[in-house]
Structure 1
Amino acid sequence: MDAQVNTYSIEAGSWHRLGAHPDKDGVNFALFSAHAERVELCLFDDSGKIEIARLTLPEYTNEIWHGFVPGLKPGQLYGYRVHGAFRPEDGHRFNANKLLVDPYARELVGDVAWSKDHFGYIMDSEEKDLSFSETDSAAVMPKCRVVDTGSYDWKGDRSPIIPWSKTIFYETHVKGFTKLNPAIPENLRGTFEGMGHKAVVDYIRSMGITSVELLPIHFFPDDSMLIDKGLHNFWGYNTLGFFSPANRYYGPNGRDGFRDMVRALHDGGIEVILDVVYNHTAEGNEMGPTLSFKGIDNFSYYRTIPDNHRYYINDTGTGNTVNTSHPRVLQMVTDSLRYWVEEMHVDGFRFDLGTILGREPEGFDQRGGFFDAVTQDPVLSKVKLVGEPWDIGPGGYQVGGFPPGWAEWNDKYRDTVRDYWKDTDNTAPDFAARFFGSGDLYDQRGRRPWASVNFICAHDGFTLNDLVSYNEKHNEANGEDNKDGHSDNRSYNYGAEGPTEDETIIAVRERQKRNFLATLLLSHGTPMVLAGDEFGRSQMGNNNGYCQDSEISWVHWEDLPPSAEELRDFTRRLIALRNAQPLLHRDNWRDGMVIEWVNAGGGPQLPEHWADGGGTTIGALVSRADLEEQDGIWSKMLVIFNPHDGPVPFVLPEGGWRLMLTTDDPTLEDEAVEGGQAYEMTGRSLCLFIPA
């Protein structure tokens, strides 16, 4: 790397705010490291290629290295070199030959241009990670940029603050959702500005969606092994900068494009939820690169094996685990979260492998430091918090185990509903619990029905279309011999693998899509729709699109079959019903709601009926007396389900009924039906009635 001599002074500065913070006189730099011996601040020219100064941070207070450089302004590029012991066996991997990213950097410029220079050891050495690399990494590292975070005009932006009981999540990807959308100007496709474009906002609002959940937008590098295959990290679960937006999604307005997007979605009444990855970083295990945390204070930032600190605890399955038991690491996570709420105006977070954040040295703890910190935090406790309640470590499966105030991805819901609509024996009892909010998991400690985030499909796995079109995964394009991705998908193709022209198969598939969407949007809990499922988007059987920054993962908007618009209209109807009717968006387990399960013979569902493994055709009478006098509001409804492949006569309760919705005919609405006699249910269908 070229060097240029410049004269800069550096003063003591302050340790109170970590990161780089400008004021009218200069910039204050502060970096946590409990075990470093010296920290150097490297300043770069605007190209990021020429180092113009190297300054030793002069003060060390409470394990924070700090200094103030007069005359520096926002826009300055920088990085760190951290000196200390290189003793991997003791958990220390300091190597000042490696330029390091500031964990608190508000913006990163450039990318990780993979090279052997990124590694703190000599890659072909017999000593492996115990060897010491003397090559410099500055030329192949992104640079941090000093940012004036208060310079953006939010124009009065405010969060929509959607009540939990009215929330409908829509999981999507900034690039994947916009790249092929013809309604977006071409130069904005794949960018934050594209995601905030009026065409996108209007579409999401037209569906009745309340909250967009974006796959990771924190800065992340592409994995070197993917680049070697000509692939890219599409999903982004490999964070390097917890405060920095991913510059791969920048449009004309750069970093401000993210805030433009948030403001546009808020103007449309739509919340922005970020999928965040605080459980691990992009530095991998002991054989991984030294990009930031590993070179700043490996022993503090990561959990290491207690009796051999050379190696990392790998409860994430990615090579390392962030050590949120350390107060400064915990502070970094909570500071990052507050930053995205206060400075970037996001409305909540979904925590990837969230169990990790509740781990202490002895295991998962509902009262662990992270949960306690968030619960008492005056900012974070008021936003939406959703945990993915599992990891691969001991005791890692914690569905129902998160503390009050949190919602959770409920994979029991996903698996049970998939099995039920395949007409798997013995699924009716569990289906009944999942449909009405999984009270067996969440009706405790004052938690509400919304704590169960219900989903059929997510980014990880089959799309809804592929769930009913493929028996097996088809991930050949990922370059791993189809060995990656889940094999247990609980899917069924109904007679042909993949696309078919068989009208009978197509009809069943379309009805099953409607069954899944109707079940999801009529269930108690918080529904999450995978973007594109509302019109039958396909990934051609690929159930692990993590590396497919391609048309496999991008949402296609053009040349769709007529069934796509029919399914989209049906989904809009479902969402409109859910939004309008309190019986469908339950807020409280103690609301006086009465639920009575009935069988196809017209009588109550008795224990012997539940015990009948093949007795999966069931119905539920739902009522709330306090709603009886409210105009346009249902106080009673009947939902009946038939997962069998053939018709079933279902005796309706006495009285007149109005059939408001059936998955057998997506256009049928408000048809009079007489009670006290058998209603012929089509095979694989759901019907919703209200009293006449």
Structure 2
Amino acid sequence: MPPGIPAGYRPYQPRFGGIARQGGIRFAAWSSAASRLWVSIFDEQGNREIERLDLMREGEGVHALFVAGLAAGTRYGFRADGDYAPEQGLWFDPDKLLVDPYAVEIDRSYAYDDRLAARRGEGTDTAPLVPKAIAADLPKPVPVLPPLFQPGGLIYEVPVRAFTMLHPDIPKRQRGTIAALAHPAIVEHLKKLGVGAVELMPVTASIDERHLPPLGLRNAWGYNPVTFMAIDPRLAPGGLKELRQTVATLREAGIGVILDLVFNHTGESDRLGPTLSMRGLDSSAYYQYAPDGRLANDTGTGNTVACDHPIVQGMILDTLRHFVCHAGVDGFRFDLAPILGRVEGRFDAAAPLLKAIRGDPVVGDRVLIAEPWDVGPDAYQLGNFLPPFLEWNDKYRDDVRRFWRGDRGMVGALATRLAGSSDVFAKAGQGASRSVNFIAAHDGMTLADIVAYEHKHNEANGEHNRDGHNENLSWNNGVEGEAGDAAVAKARLDDRRALLATLFASRGTIMLAAGDEFGRTQNGNNNAYAQDNEITWLDWTGRDQALEQCTFLLAAMRRSAPALSDTRFLTGQPPAGSEISDVAWLSETGEPLDETAWHHPERHRLVMMLGGADDEDCRLAAVINGDRRKCMFTLPAREGFFWSPATAGAADISQPVPGRTVIFMVERKMGRAHAEENRNG
């Protein structure tokens, strides 16, 4: 038993899949409605079906067979027969080769083909069109160590393929893969940013939406999985071992790995979609159906996985255990997470699946992050998940954007977001914030585009700019197309610096989208899911190195200020053992903000002064000038202390603070020489 797993607990012993054992392979699948199931065995190339064997009923929907003489590496798929009535959730068709939902490896990537969606009797055998599962001989589990990442750290959201496709230091054969994340150049960059964990956008095998191939496009994000455990061969030619080694290398550098997993829907889509796996095995059990017999669409993608079904819950838990025990990951981000907690159409934070995840001996101590919304009923659940779940905080994103856009009366909202969003997360006696603070993510405009485009530009997606959010809370700081204009360029750089500084000044967990630290752009595209090209590939050669250096300094400042990574809610009172309050909110004159100032619609200036910035109980001040005019700021003086820039060589408040600027000042104890100089004026 690997270290860290409770004695007697078997962390990954699934009942289903193709598992190599001594003398052969046991194949098992689940279906409550199929009249007959087969396993199809293929040759070493996965091209020719060698034999088709009946699985035997074992009761409770389990169909299984032990085939002697087969070994790990055998390529296989399932077939199922039964009634064919799609309007009743019955899609049985023996001509459809079905990928094992428990496959941990597949021999090729998924590729959309119209023949995969043919009705029974209308098409041909789909075996040549779909990947074959590879029977697993799983490696010895890794030691299950405590997660490196702790709440309050920096999460770095990474699209694996786009991240390194253009990186000049990565060997061309390795670009765009999980292995590239372990390259010394990448590790060095992550360490300069102070990354606590990389959050990998989906790396499990996915398929393009059916409308993309005719447009010459392909899904670049991976949020359209078919099976939950198998890693996409395009991202990891080395399969599970590649992920495992990369996790180990990053862990040695002090960086955890969080996997972004999609359990809310699959690429089998709506009634016109392809039959690839769970639909052909037992669609009525694996997917949610509306009372009128149609597939439920709480995801906006055509189907919704039935996360309230015990067989689905078991598969999801097995998936999580698999990635912890065989890859060593720190945790998981759950896409459209309310679906995991929806029971009989309503969200319940204590739903069986969410409860099981929190209480699982292997999974329960991992980093768990919810995207707390979807498009179904009872859809918006920000703040309603239970600890230890962290939650993506779109209120933080929106209020920070509104403040820097120049919206009126936003000082109070900004202070609340900087302090950890107690209005959202201080529930049921919870004393710490579970907010994941972010300004930009994969979905939406990049941080650089927020200040350069007032409106989205999604024309390249082939939907006549109709897709994506229309309201981005963005602004055009200058005139589009005038990138050569020095004034416009400077104004946009100032705003980007201000947004990044605000993020790094925020209490609790923060998330930075890869490339935002050096000004990545998607040319205004706020829904670039279909752009597996230079629109989404990070331009390392042309990156804004001045902005990048600014971000490195912000990261260093944050690492030196424990008060910023603290997740406890601020009270305005001195914490135990201290004589200074944990926070003070000040005007530019150094005086506490009164009610009039808090609510003044034209106020765009604020000072957040935190106590306990270091072991000497010094204070840290974030001086925020959201106005376009420069202004003198004054900070409260304390005998025996003086204020200086938080990082060497940074700007301070001895001169008027320029507009659209955030400056960090730290209070330091006076040495003898400094005290004498101070007394002499």
TM-score between both structures, scaled by the size of structure 2: 0.91
Q: Give the length in aligned residue pairs.
A: 646
Report 1:60-459 matches (<5 A).
Answer: 60-121=58-119, 133=122, 135-150=124-139, 161-165=148-152, 167-251=153-237, 253-306=238-291, 308-309=292-293, 311-445=294-428, 447=430, 449-459=432-442
Contact 1:390 1:396 survives alignment (8 Å)? yes
Q: Among residues 600, 605, 610, which one is paired with 1:622 in the alignment?
A: 610
Partner of 1:129: none
Residue 388 of structure 1: how far off its partner (Å): 0.5
Residue 464 of structure 1: how far off its partner (Å): 1.4
Contact 1:158 1:266 survives alignment (8 Å)? no
Report 1:597-676 matches (<5 A).
Answer: 597-624=585-612, 630=615, 635-655=618-638, 657-660=642-645, 668-669=649-650, 673=654
Residue 336 of structure 1: how far off its partner (Å): 0.6
CA distance in 2, matches of 1:100, 1:445: 46
Residue segments in structure 2 that go unaligned for 5+ positions in a row: 1-12, 669-681
Contact 2:561 2:620 survives alignment (8 Å)? no
CA 113–395 in structure 1, closer or farther in 2 if over 3 Å, else same: closer
Partner of 1:126: none
1:103-135 deviations in Å (ceiling 9; x for gaps): 00111112344334312526xxxxxxxxx5453
Please tell me the residue identity of whatever aligns with 1:418: R
1:525-555 deviations in Å (ceiling 9; x for gaps): 2111111111111122222110111011001
Residue 670 of structure 1: how far off its partner (Å): 7.5
1:544 aligns with 2:527: yes
Identical pairs, percent: 38
Partner of 1:8: none
CA distance in 1, matches of 2:49, 2:15: 25
Residue 639 of structure 1: how far off its partner (Å): 2.1
CA root-mean-square deviation: 2.1
Please tell me the residue identity of whatever aligns with 2:660: R
Helix, strand or coil for the counterpart of 1:681? coil
Please tell me the residue identity of whatever aligns with 2:77: G
Residue segments in structure 1 that go unaligned for 5+ positions in a row: 1-14, 123-131, 674-678
Q: Among residues 647, 661, 676, which one is paired with 1:685 in the alignment?
A: 661
Helix, strand or coil for the counterpart of 2:327? coil
Partner of 2:452: 469
Helix, strand or coil for the counterpart of 2:526? coil
1:54 aligns with 2:21: no
Residue 680 of structure 1: how far off its partner (Å): 2.5
Contact 1:276 1:349 survives alignment (8 Å)? yes
Report 1:519-538 matches (<5 A).
Answer: 519-538=502-521
Deviates more, 1:317-326 or 1:360-369: 360-369
CA distance in 1, matches of 2:180, 2:366: 25
Helix, strand or coil for the counterpart of 1:30? strand
CA distance in 1, matches of 2:415, 2:481: 31
CA 199–638 in structure 1, closer or farther in 2 if over 3 Å, else same: closer
Contact 2:522 2:535 survives alignment (8 Å)? yes
Helix, strand or coil for the counterpart of 2:632? strand
1:78-111 deviations in Å (ceiling 9; x for gaps): 0111111112232222112211011001111123
CA distance in 2, matches of 1:140, 1:499: 48
Partner of 2:10: none
Partner of 1:572: 552
1:247-304 deviations in Å (ceiling 9; x for gaps): 11134x3442222222221122111111111000000111211111111011100110
Residue 182 of structure 1: how far off its partner (Å): 1.0
1:288-337 deviations in Å (ceiling 9; x for gaps): 1111111101110011012x22x111110000000011101111111111
Residue 598 of structure 1: how far off its partner (Å): 1.7
Residue 158 of structure 1: how far off its partner (Å): 5.3
Helix, strand or coil for the counterpart of 1:304? coil
Please tell me the residue identity of whatever aligns with 1:142: P
Partner of 2:582: 594
Helix, strand or coil for the counterpart of 1:66? strand
Partner of 1:10: none
Residue 483 of structure 1: how far off its partner (Å): 1.6
TM-score between both structures, scaled by the size of structure 1: 0.89
Helix, strand or coil for the counterpart of 2:511? strand
CA 512–113 in structure 1, closer or farther in 2 if over 3 Å, else same: closer
Helix, strand or coil for the counterpart of 1:619? strand
Contact 2:625 2:659 survives alignment (8 Å)? yes
Contact 2:151 2:508 survives alignment (8 Å)? no
1:193-234 deviations in Å (ceiling 9; x for gaps): 212222212221232112111110011112232111111110
CA distance in 2, matches of 1:151, 1:207: 33
Partner of 2:565: 585
CA distance in 2, matches of 1:134, 1:620: 66
1:595-624 deviations in Å (ceiling 9; x for gaps): 221223443212222221112212222224
Contact 1:119 1:133 survives alignment (8 Å)? no
CA distance in 2, matches of 1:671, 1:610: 25
Helix, strand or coil for the counterpart of 1:250? coil
CA distance in 1, matches of 2:476, 2:282: 51
CA distance in 2, matches of 1:480, 1:552: 16
Helix, strand or coil for the counterpart of 1:219? coil
Helix, strand or coil for the counterpart of 1:472? coil
CA distance in 2, matches of 1:169, 1:649: 34
CA distance in 1, matches of 2:565, 2:111: 49
Contact 2:110 2:205 survives alignment (8 Å)? no
Partner of 1:7: none
1:27-58 deviations in Å (ceiling 9; x for gaps): 11111111111111110001211110110012
Deviates more, 1:168-177 or 1:575-584: 575-584
CA distance in 2, matches of 1:498, 1:412: 31
Contact 2:590 2:635 survives alignment (8 Å)? yes
CA distance in 1, matches of 2:560, 2:631: 30
Partner of 1:42: 40
Residue 574 of structure 1: how far off its partner (Å): 1.3
Contact 1:98 1:291 survives alignment (8 Å)? yes
1:452-505 deviations in Å (ceiling 9; x for gaps): 000111111111111111122222211111222222111112121155122112
Please tell me the residue identity of whatever aligns with 1:150: P
Partner of 1:482: 465
CA distance in 2, matches of 1:541, 1:423: 20
